[in-house]
């Protein structure tokens, strides 16, 4: 079935219901002056939700999201929703951009113009890309899987089919962070005949056996401390995703608290989430979860990944790999840790930025993507 044109349109009734639910939120009582120490700051989430109810203009953002061509393609029984924007330049190169949790395709929206039409943004037209930006299966406004097994491996297989069978690209590049980094790395290992290069701003690696240097000990200790303090979300979503999804599908304040706490913790914001993001940016991303009632699929991705034997245990990624590592990315492997499993050809460390690089440091990420793919076009 050929791609079907699509545009995002949230019914008025859904928006009215959202405002009503926000107005009727029953808030818990925090311990005074504890801020974010116990998780989401109740006072900040109340402020954000009041703006969501009374000041946020979804229709304005919906119009902006719909300015680029969108499509649905049925792959492996699921309707994949994606932007597909052709490049302007002498030889646009196809590039698949894959988001993660708790993000959405919105992370890449403001990069579509510079990637597809670099000359219009002061760049070299030779750097133009055909961009394909799909929502992960079950996320956002696409179709919802109705059977088990939609973990990273199956998602990567669906994206490869989207690129090669549905869109006709025999050779393409990939870029991703968070789940997008895991999935596109997995794709590089599984489909090297199709993938010309893999660019990652999230990469997983462990210290090699026998490395007992002080640097490695310190890095390992920091990783263990982070694991102990900051990964409860993964354990919940990886074991009991529907128990969480029922609560979040019913409460917009609940999903806002769950997502915004991670944007604050994983970003280079110094504890002030609005130092990096506006309320409108935070809420537009959250709307990809709330408006289509798609909170369950993202939570289940963690459950499925734990039961996907190939999700993290692939053979070496043989296509060229470029890595952009931002200073406040919580997961910080050393290059030597990942080289046995990745064909690293470019490794760039940035002094600023965190987990959501496309939103936090868009220009830095853009330039690194351009520089890496000049070598593999």
Looking up tokens 């070598």 gives 375
Residues in the chain: 377
- Among residues 126, 187, 199, which one has the least CA distance to residue 161? 187
CA-based R_g, the chain, Å: 20
DSSP element (H, E) containing 48: helix 42-54
Question: Which pLDDT value is given to residue 215?
Answer: 82
39: left (phi over 0), alpha (psi -120 to 50) or beta: left
Question: Which pLDDT value is given to residue 249?
Answer: 98
Q: What is the residue extent of each domain of the chain?
A: 4-374
- Among residues 48, 102, 335, which one has the least CA distance to residue 205? 335
The contacts of residue 353 (CB under 8 Å, 6+ apart) are: 268, 326, 327, 328, 329, 360, 361, 364
Which superfamily is assigned to 4-374 in CATH? Alpha/Beta hydrolase fold, catalytic domain (3.40.50.1820)
**Which residues lie across from 71 on neighbouring strands?**
5, 82
The strands making up 195-200's β-sheet, listed across from edge to edge, are: 4-6, 70-75, 78-85, 129-134, 93-98, 172-176, 195-200, 317-326, 342-350
Q: What is the DSSP string of 71-89?
A: EEEEETTEEEEEEEE---S
The contacts of residue 154 (CB under 8 Å, 6+ apart) are: 76, 137, 304, 308
Range 265-303 burial, b when 16+ CB lie within 10 A, else e: bbbbbeeebeebbebbbbbbbbbbbbbbebbbbbbbbbb
The contacts of residue 262 (CB under 8 Å, 6+ apart) are: 102, 233
Residue 152: C-alpha distances to residues 56, 84, 106 (Å): 34, 22, 20
Question: Which pLDDT value is given to residue 207?
Answer: 84
Question: Which pLDDT value is given to residue 227?
Answer: 87
| pLDDT in 10s for each residue of the chain, 377 residues | 789 999 999 999 999 999 999 999 999 999 999 999 999 999 999 999 999 999 999 999 999 999 999 999 999 999 999 999 999 999 999 999 999 999 999 999 999 999 999 999 999 999 999 999 999 999 999 999 999 999 999 999 999 999 999 999 999 999 999 999 999 999 999 999 999 999 999 999 888 877 788 888 888 888 888 889 999 999 999 999 999 999 999 999 999 999 999 999 999 999 999 999 999 999 999 999 999 999 999 999 999 999 998 888 778 999 999 999 999 999 989 999 999 999 999 999 999 999 999 999 999 999 999 999 999 99
CB-based contact 4:73 (threshold 8 Å) = yes
Question: Which pLDDT value is given to residue 216?
Answer: 82
φ/ψ of 286, rounded to 5, equals -65, -30
Question: Which pLDDT value is given to residue 224?
Answer: 85
CA distance 195 to 184: 10
CA distance 227 to 199: 25
Question: Which pLDDT value is given to residue 76?
Answer: 97
Range 77-110 burial, b when 16+ CB lie within 10 A, else e: ebbbbbbbbebebeebbbbbbbbbbbbbbbbbbe
CA distance 66 to 82: 11
Question: Which pLDDT value is given to residue 221?
Answer: 84
DSSP element (H, E) containing 132: strand 129-134
The contacts of residue 229 (CB under 8 Å, 6+ apart) are: none
The contacts of residue 157 (CB under 8 Å, 6+ apart) are: 76, 190
CB-based contact 95:60 (threshold 8 Å) = no
């Amino acid at each position: 079935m050929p791609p079907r044109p699509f545009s995002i349109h949230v019914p008025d009734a859904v928006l009215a219901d959202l405002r009503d639910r926000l107005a009727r939120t029953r808030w818990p009582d925090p311990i005074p002056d504890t801020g974010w120490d116990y998780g989401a700051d109740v006072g900040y989430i109340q402020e954000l939700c009041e703006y969501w109810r009374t000041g946020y203009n979804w229709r304005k953002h919906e119009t902006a999201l719909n300015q680029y061509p969108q499509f649905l393609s049925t792959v492996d029984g699921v309707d994949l929703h994606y932007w597909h924007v052709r490049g302007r330049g002498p030889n646009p190169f196809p590039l698949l951009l894959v988001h993660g949790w708790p993000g959405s395709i919105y992370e890449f929206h403001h990069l579509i113009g510079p990637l597809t039409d670099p000359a219009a943004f002061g760049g070299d037209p030779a750097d133009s890309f055909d961009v394909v930006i799909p929502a992960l299966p079950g996320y956002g406004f696409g179709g919802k899987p109705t059977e088990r097994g939609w973990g990273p491996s199956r998602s990567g297989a669906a994206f490869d089919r989207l690129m090669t069978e549905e869109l006709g690209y025999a050779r393409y590049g990939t870029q991703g962070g968070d789940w997008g980094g895991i999935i596109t790395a997995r794709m590089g290992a599984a489909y090297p005949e199709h993938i010309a290069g893999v660019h990652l701003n999230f990469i997983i690696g462990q210290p090699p056996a026998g490395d007992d240097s002080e640097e490695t000990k310190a890095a390992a200790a920091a990783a263990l401390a982070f694991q102990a303090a900051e990964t409860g979300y993964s354990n919940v979503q990886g074991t009991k995703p529907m128990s969480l999804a029922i609560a979040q599908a019913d409460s917009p304040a609940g999903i806002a608290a769950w997502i915004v706490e991670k944007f604050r913790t994983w970003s280079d914001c110094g504890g002030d989430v609005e130092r990096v993001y506006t309320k409108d940016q935070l809420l537009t991303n959250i709307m990809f979860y709330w408006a289509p009632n798609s909170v369950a699929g993202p939570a289940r991705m963690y459950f499925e990944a734990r039961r996907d034997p190939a999700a993290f245990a692939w053979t070496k990624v043989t296509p060229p790999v470029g890595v952009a590592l931002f200073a406040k990315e919580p997961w910080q492997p050393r290059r030597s840790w990942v080289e046995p499993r990745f064909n690293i050809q470019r490794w760039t460390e940035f002094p600023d930025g965190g987990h959501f690089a496309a939103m936090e440091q868009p220009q830095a990420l853009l330039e690194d993507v351009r520089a890496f793919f000049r070598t593999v076009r």
